[in-house]
Structure 1
Amino acid sequence: MAVLPLVAGEPTSPFECAAMAADLTNQVCHWGSRGVGYINADVTLTLSRLPSGGELGLRGENAVASAGISVGTATLYDRARALGTCVVTALSNAERLIDLADGDR
C-alpha cells in the first residue's frame, strides 16, 4: 500500500497508515470471482503496536454470513510481523456486485 499524505505537505502517521489499510478489509474478505458482494457498514481496527513503515498488508482470515449480514476478519501486518486485526461488518449487495477489476468504472 502506498503511503499518500492525507494533508499536502504533512507526513502520514503510522496510525493513519493502519487505518487506511483497515478500510480495505471488506474487499479482502468479500471479493469473489464476480466482484465484491457486500457493502461495508462498519470496520474495527485493533492494534498491538503501531506499524513500522508504510508498507502494510492484509490477510483475509474468514467471512461468516447469514441473512444478508457478513462479518469478515483480516490480520494486518507490516514487514516485521502481524500487528493487529481488522473486523468488518457488511451488508449483502448481491444484486449489484461491485467489480473492482473492471477498468471502465
Structure 2
Amino acid sequence: MQSIPEIIRTIPLTNYIMLSSALFCIGILGVLTRRNAIIVFMAIELMLNAVNLLLAAFSSYYSDPSGQIFVFFIMAVAAAEVAVGLAIIVMIYRNIQSIDIGVLNKLKN
C-alpha cells in the first residue's frame, strides 16, 4: 500500500491547481454576492482552505515541508479570525437584530 505523500505525487499537480482555483472562485463569488455575514465568513474560510490545499500540494510535490508549516499558521490565524468575527456578528445582532451586511450602515451614527 502506498503512503500518502506517494499518492499525492501520483496525482498531477494541475488537478490540485484546478480544484484550488475552483474553490477560491466559489469563495470570491460567495463574498461578493451574499449579504448574510455568516455566509460571507464561510466564503472567506473556503478561500483560505483553497490556499491551504494548494500550499500542501506544492509542499508535498516538491518535498519541502515549509508549505505545510504555512498551512498550520494559516489555520491558526483562520481560527482566531472566526472567533473574533463571530463575536462581532453576535454583538451586531444584539444591537440591530439582523446580520444582513446591507443594514450595517446604521452603525455609522
Structure (1 or 2) with the greater strand fraction: 1
Higher relative contact order (CA 8 A, sep 6+): 1
TM value normalised by structure 1: 0.25
Q: Choose between structure 1 and 2: higher helix proportion.
A: 2
TM-score, scaled to structure 2: 0.25
